[in-house]
Amino acid sequence: MKKMYCAIDGGNSTIEVVINGQRCPVAFPSMDCEPDKEYTDVMKVGSIGKPNHEKLHVTLQKNREKNSSVKEFVFGHMAEAYGKSKRNRENFDKSADPQLVEWMLTALAYGIYDKERKEKGVPDNKIKAEIVLSVGLPFHEAKNVENKKRFGKAFKGNHIIEFQHPAFDGAAVEINVSTVYINVEGEASLGRIIFDPDGECSKLAPEDLLNRVYTMVNCGGFSTEIIGMQFLKADSGDEYIDMFDEDYELSINPETQTHLTAGIQKGVGTAMIDTLKNIEENETMIKRSLIRRDIEVALSRGGKNPDTNTLGWILPEKVNINKYFSKHIKRLAEHVSQKLHSLYTANNVKSQVQKIYLSGGGSKIDLFVETFTAEMVNYGYDENIIVQDPDPIFADAHGYYEAMMETEEAYQEDHDLSDVG
């Protein structure tokens, strides 16, 4: 059984996977449906030519050693295409959501299968992997130790995911999750930027970084995390340090500051739900039930109206949602900027802020970024310090992975030293 180091960012809109440092090229929609007759009638012909990640009809047995039951569902893009019963993730604590864990394990299993296929050409029909896993929770959940324990426990154990679509020829992935690291959403991705050997912080002298604040605003589906890290003088222990000694070498560390960190229980998904309510109340042309995924598609290339060559349309009804969504996403950006400004003003660090990074789904929405930036400029911040994370959707997944590997490396070093001693 091969050992793999994996990270999963389980979001309200999409799920991202990193395996051994490499991102799975697919961001899986956080949705599923029942495998009803509508799907089985077209199983062999309706999906010809589609990539395998759009054929995820699976069975999942979690914790097989406990003789658990088997669940069957259609996941991700395939649920979007075939699901009368399709559903997005509902808004409640991730740490108490077994369905989210099932989707994350399914996304991981496909990522492992796809990696094997690309490396071997034809993957083994039965793949087994020992997994060291790194995941994350919103700040308001992660600050509770019991939430972290519960979330980690939900992933541990031996699980098997079997792919039911004929394209997989009966393939299955057996996952044994032995270790789970729990991170804070936004914190790991900010740490990844700060510790980047080619990044800004590595090029500045300790004196230039001392007391500087770096911030990540991670705008997800139903939560937005404000994470503040500050460079502080490293603890010298019991050693006396004469700060006026000309030969004194300043040593500093970036530390997450709880008083500069906050979790807002609103996000892009909140704006989408409000938009759905407006559509239901005002757009009588639409005679079907819509979910958040329909709003996401409308805002992407899938919502491009050929008559106007513009995005933001529910098709084929050709109902434009921009007037509704724009109102709600602007309110979200204003709320987040006001919270950040109030937090940093109250703690007297406004002039110490060096960078404010934007990540998550909100950072991909131009109006959110533009509104947030304009509001922060009105509050007296320099527009140039507000920058987008270089990989905003996969930022957390990459951050979780690197935080895990740093911890694993430290453990191995300690273990090796103890053996020598």
Please check the confidence at residue 414 and state whether its pLDDT lies above 60: no
Q: Per DSSP, which regions of 147-210 are E strands?
A: 157-163, 172-184
pLDDT at 321: 95
Six token digits for residue 227 = 């994470």
For 313-375, the DSSP string reads: EETTTTEE-HHHHHHHHHHHHHHHHHHHHHHHHHTT-GGGEEEEEEESGGGG-HHHHHHHHHH
pLDDT at 418: 34
Instruction: Say whether pLDDT at 49 is over 80.
Output: no
- pLDDT of 39 strictly over 80: no
Residue-level pLDDT at 412:
57
Q: Supply the pLDDT for residue 46.
A: 52
List CB contacts of 409: < 8 A, sequence separation 6 or more.
Answer: none
pLDDT at 419: 37
Predicted confidence at residue 153, as pLDDT, reads: 95
pLDDT the model gives residue 239: 58
Can you state the percent helix, strand and coil of the chain, rounding each to 5?
Answer: 40, 25, 30
Using the predicted structure, report yes or no on whether residue 99 has a pLDDT greater than 70: yes
pLDDT, tens digit (0-9, with 9 covering 90-100), for 52-62: 999 999 999 99
pLDDT digits (tens, 9 = 90+) for 135-185: 999 999 999 999 999 999 999 999 999 999 988 989 999 999 999 999 999
pLDDT confidence of residue 417: 40
Burial status of residue 409 (CB atoms within 10 A of its CB: 0-12, 13-18, 19 or more) = exposed
Query: Regarding beta strands 213-219 and 353-359, do their DSSP bridges make them parallel or antiparallel, or are they unpaired?
Result: parallel
| Host H or E run for residue 418 | helix 395-420
CB 387 within 8 A of CB 293: no
Q: What is the mean pLDDT of residues 247-268?
A: 88
How much is the pLDDT for 248? 62
Q: Percentage of the chain surpassing pLDDT 70?
A: 90
Cα torsion at 283, 284, 286, 290 (round to 10°)?
Answer: 60
Say if CB 175 and CB 109 are below 8 A apart: yes
Residue whose entry in the numeric block shows the structure tokens 């079907």: 288
Residue 138's pLDDT is 92
**Statement: residue 44 has pLDDT above 70:** no
| Predicted confidence (pLDDT) per residue in 290-345, tens digit | 989 999 999 998 899 999 999 999 999 999 999 999 999 999 999 999 999 999 99
Predicted confidence (pLDDT) at residue 420 exceeds the cutoff of 50: no
The mean pLDDT of the chain is 89
Please state the three-class secondary structure of 250-266 as a single string. CCEEEEECHHHCEEECC
Helix (H, G, I), strand (E, B) or coil at 45: coil
- The pLDDT score that the predictor gives to residue 60 is 97
Average of pLDDT values for 222-233?
94
Q: What per-residue confidence (pLDDT) applies to 346?
A: 97
130 burial type by CB count under 10 A (0-12 exposed, 13-18 middle, 19+ buried): middle
Q: Supply 202's token pair.
A: 């590595």
Is the bond preceding residue 25 a cis peptide, omega within 30 degrees?
A: no
Residue 90's Cβ-count burial label (10 Å; 0-12, 13-18, 19+) is: exposed
Give mean pLDDT, residues 213-231.
Answer: 95
pLDDT for 42 equals: 55
Give the confidence band of 421 by pLDDT, cuts at 50, 70, 90: very low
Domains of the chain: 2-184 (3.30.420.40), 206-390 (3.30.420.40)
Q: What are the tens digits of pLDDT across the range 66-78?
A: 778 899 999 999 8
Spatial contact of 186 and 216, defined as CB atoms under 8 Å apart: yes
What is the CA angle 27-29-32, rounded to 5?
140
CA neighbor of 319 nearest in space, from 288, 356, 353, 350 = 288
Residue-level pLDDT at 43: 57
Integer Cα distance of 77 and 119 in angstroms: 24
Are 366 and 300 within 8 A, CB to CB?
no
